[in-house]
Amino acid sequence: MKTLKSFSILILIVSLVLLVPSCAVNPVTGKSQLMFMSEEQEVALGTQYDPSVVSTFGLYEDDVLLNFITQKGTEMGKISHRPNLQYHFKVLDSPVVNAFAVPGGYIYLTRGILAQFNNEAELMGVLGHEMGHVTARHTAQQQTRQQLGQVALTAGMIASKEVAQFANEAMQAMQLLFLSFSRTNEREADRLGVEYSSKIGYDAHKMADFFEVLNKMSMASSHAGVPTWMSTHPDPGERNISVNQTTNEWQAKLPGKSFAVNTNSYLKMIDGIVYGENPRHGFVENSMFYHPDLKFQFPIPNGWELINSPLQVQIVPADQNAAMIFSLASEKNSETAAQKTLSELQLTVIDSKNVKINGLNATTTLSQQVSQADNGQQQTLQILSYFIEKEGMIYTFHGLTSEALFNSNKAAFETTMMNFAPLTDSSKLNIQPERIKVITIRSASVTVADAFKYYKVPESKFNELALLNNLELDHTLSKGDMIKVIGQ
């Protein structure tokens, strides 16, 4: 939870483009197709979406990686089927292994997928795949198909009967909106990824190798609902075989051209990249949420689940009949923040007062929103809010549930909100994320498992790190080989 955003982002998601059917020539196939936006609208859509993507995920700051991706991606764009389109490349601060594109040439890779790659060729294959979705206008087609479904994300959604689910679904919408392609689209993007990466001099066979890693990760994953590559890019079947065949064909079409892999140069680039969740941006321990960077803490009710993101923190009970939303407001004091927020959300104020929360100035309000349910009956959502001043920022809690269930959830709301406090525990303040550490093997003929033991990798992490390196534990390493381990 790092950015100063609020519910207004939900409005932006659904108000970006007018659907105007027209016929256009597909840049890849050369055939006419029904398209609901012009190229100008497509570019404008991407330009409008980009700030929302960035605020939802956050950017990962690494100039060396970003400059390399931008340089190679721009080179790839020039030989693509849309060479006049300006491409934009960004690294997102997410541990999830994924990459995606939005209309208009915006391509995003997570630090999670960059940590998983083992050479430049894998990166270029995936970059080419995502560029293929853009050049074939898959993202534009997909946007028009899904846009009507996004109407549920308007500001009025706060009045929905499913109060416990609206926040999580709203956050997931941005992540999933552009990530569900047909198998036909996936096959075409694979072919284009091979073509583009081969043309700029990379061995696309490594793209097939990475898909095999993703398959293994998918089988090992227990994070249901997390938007990973495999959960959002349908596997068209026999992907490795078809990618390898297409690679052979393109390499034959480019006689005399060398095709690079560049393992060591890539591993050196990602040496030190954050791996997994970054506790600096918030973590849970013993039913307490700590945020070292912003130096605050608050408790989580027993049995409630916390979902942390750059945009906001969501806390939901097991029965999903209530929700707490925690975010930042940009106003100068708690009273102004309360007035503005209640006005923007069109809430009817029942009570409002100024209070002290662990020595911090705060404003608390009780409000309602009345709406019509699907069955025509009137329903009332009751909201307890706290606006807390701390070091020039306003921290905002909203506890939402139906009027009938408010009293049964009020204690949980207040326990969390009234125990918001400055974080002073040095052990929490100084916590650091895990990072990729690239090790050069100094001895000949050692196995991966032996190397892990030597570098004191916990045995419980052996399989995870073997997959991270795309190596078997009994694989023999040679002197000078590089492998990835995890450290701080």
Domain of residue 399, CATH code: 3.40.1000.10
The predicted pLDDT at position 214 comes to 86
Kindly state whether residues 218 and 256 are assigned to the same domain.
Answer: yes
CB 236 within 8 Å of CB 193:
no
* Residue 434 maps to a domain: no
**Distance from the Cα of residue 169 to its chain's centroid:** 14
| Shared-domain flag, residues 326 and 225 | no
Is 262:473 a contact under the CB 8 Å cutoff?
no
First to last CA, the chain: 22
Question: What pLDDT, on the 0 to 100 scale, is given for residue 379?
Answer: 83
Q: Is 1 within a domain?
A: no
Q: Return the H-helix or E-strand segment holding 305.
A: strand 304-308
Domain residues for 228?
A: 9-275
Q: Is 129 among the domain residues?
A: yes
Say if residue 239 is in the same domain as residue 291.
Answer: no
pLDDT of the residue at 195: 98
What 3-state class would DSSP assign to 265? helix
Answer yes or no: do 236 and 299 share one domain. Answer: no
Clarify whether residues 118 and 231 are in a common domain: yes
Cα 229 off chain centre by: 11
Domain-located, residue 458: yes
Say if residue 410 is in the same domain as residue 461. Answer: no
Do 224 and 296 belong together in one domain?
no
92, 174: one domain: yes
Structural domain contains residue 480: yes
Q: What are the respective helix, strand and coil percentages of the chain, to the nearest 5?
A: 45, 25, 35
Which residue, of 211, 242, 275, is where some domain finishes? 275
Give the residue from 237, 254, 275 where a domain finishes.
Answer: 275
Residue 435 lies in a domain: no
pLDDT given for residue 378 in this prediction? 78
One pLDDT digit (tens) per residue for the chain, 488 residues: 653 333 333 333 333 333 344 445 566 665 555 455 677 888 888 888 888 888 888 899 999 999 999 999 999 999 999 999 999 999 999 998 999 998 889 999 999 999 999 999 999 999 999 999 999 887 766 665 544 333 333 223 333 333 433 344 344 434 444 456 778 888 999 999 999 999 999 999 999 999 888 888 865 544 433 456 666 676 766 888 999 999 999 999 999 999 999 999 999 999 999 999 999 999 999 999 999 999 999 999 999 999 888 878 999 999 999 999 999 988 889 999 999 999 988 899 999 999 999 999 999 999 998 876 666 677 889 999 999 999 999 999 999 999 999 999 999 999 999 999 999 999 999 999 999 999 999 988 899 999 999 999 999 999 999 999 999 999 999 999 999 999 98
Answer yes or no: are the C-beta atoms of 281 and 418 closer than 8 Å: no
Would residue 356 count as lying in a domain?
yes
Closest CA to 5 of 156, 167, 165: 167
Last residue of a domain, one of 404, 429, 454: 429
Q: Cβ neighbours of residue 469 under 8 Å, at least 6 residues apart?
A: 118, 448, 483, 484
Domain identity same for 268 and 283: no
Per-residue DSSP letter, 344? H
Answer yes or no: do 342 and 304 share one domain.
yes
Burial of 87 (0-12, 13-18, 19+ CB in 10 A): buried
In this structure, are 254 and 222 located in the same domain?
yes
pLDDT of amino acid 239 = 85
Domain match, 222 and 128 both? yes
**Single-letter amino acid code for the residue at 427:** S
**325 part of a folded domain:** yes
Q: Output the six-digit token pair for 306.
A: 């916390």
The one-letter code for the residue type at 114 is: L
Res 36: pLDDT: 55
Number of domains in the chain: 3
